[in-house]
Structure 1
Amino acid sequence: MRETNKVFHLAIPCKELEETKDFYEKLGCKLARQYDDRVTFNFFGDQVVCHLNPEGIDLEPKMYPRHYGVTFTNRSEFDQLLQYATENNLPFFKKPMVRFEGKREEHVTFFLIDPSNNLLEFKYYHDVEMVY
């Protein structure tokens, strides 16, 4: 089980640091560090590092197999982020939708796309036991 003294780390490519910084700060992520070749964020309690690598950008992003994000266990927090993303005009890759409707693993989800075509998924399962 995850303990509070552990932080998940994810490194992803970005094409330009300032637009990347602007996107993640608009998403509500706190800038931790910025260097000439990367920016590091507190991404909902975990660490996301965006490394400057314009050649590594996925020109035609697809939801599968590569995306990352947050699974909420509190519906109101999910709804707050969705409202925040909408109010801040963050770009949606997929608008809010229900997946696996009528099944135990039913959940609501939406995808955002950052300036470097990295896909971010945010979701909430009605049955908390289906999170894992």
Structure 2
Amino acid sequence: MPHATQTQPPFHLAFPVHDIAAARRFYGGLLGCPEGRSAPEWVDFNFYGHQIVAHLAPGECGPRAAPSATSTVDDHQVPVRHFGAVLDMPQWQELAKTLQAAGVPFIIEPHIRFQGEVGEQATMFLLDPSGNALEFKAFADMSSLFAK
């Protein structure tokens, strides 16, 4: 899976996981994120040009999609705590196919939201093995990313 070339500084995100090997299988294997540095308690991944770090912290893990932790967006209950990436449309479509073929359960199935409106976008939500919510989205017209 191709990873974005940065035109702006990459962000850094650290998050808890219950199992480093499961994080490697999910982020490195399924999502295709190249692995960077690691230690027994953490591992870096190149997440579409950004640095994410999975830290072994089982007590901090769990689903973030409980009803009290969601917000209604376009008739869907979106997990408030989530992270992800904005991909180009072909990348998003390929990732959706990969996740569906792997049988990954979705919180919100791949679909187009805000159809016909400013900010129309493809989106999907899922949980990693430690219960961290992720969103992947794409815009047919990337210039609408911050459009009102």
| Pair in the same fold by TM > 0.5 | yes
Matched, 1:42 2:50: no
Q: Distance in 1 between matches of 2:120 and 2:127?
A: 23
Matched, 1:33 2:37: yes
Judge conservation of contact 1:14–1:50 (CA < 8 Å) in 2. yes
Q: Please, which moves more after superposition, 113-122 or 90-99?
A: 90-99
Give the C-alpha shift of residue 98 in structure 1. 2.0
Give the C-alpha shift of residue 89 in structure 1. 3.3
- Could you say if the C-alpha distance between residues 27 and 119 of structure 1 is closer, same or farther in structure 2, counting changes exceeding 3 Å? same
Identical-pair percentage? 35
* Structure 2 residues not aligned, in runs of 5+: 1-5, 71-77
TM-score (norm 1): 0.86
Q: Distance in 2 between matches of 1:129 and 1:48?
A: 25
- Could you say if the C-alpha distance between residues 67 and 7 of structure 1 is closer, same or farther in structure 2, counting changes exceeding 3 Å? same
Q: Of residues 60, 81, 85 in structure 2, which corresponds to 1:66?
A: 81
Provide the alpha-carbon RMSD of the alignment: 2.0
Q: Distance in 2 between matches of 1:34 and 1:89?
A: 28
Q: Deviations over 1:51-99 (max 9, x none)?
A: 1111111345353321111112x31121112122223333422211222
3-state SS in 2 of match to 1:29: coil
* Structure 1 residues not aligned, in runs of 5+: none
TM-score (norm 2): 0.77
- Number of corresponding residues: 130
Judge conservation of contact 2:64–2:81 (CA < 8 Å) in 1. no
| Correspondence for 1:126 | 140
Give the C-alpha shift of residue 12 in structure 1. 0.5
- One-letter amino acid of the structure 1 residue matched with residue 83 of structure 2: Y
Judge conservation of contact 1:101–1:107 (CA < 8 Å) in 2. yes
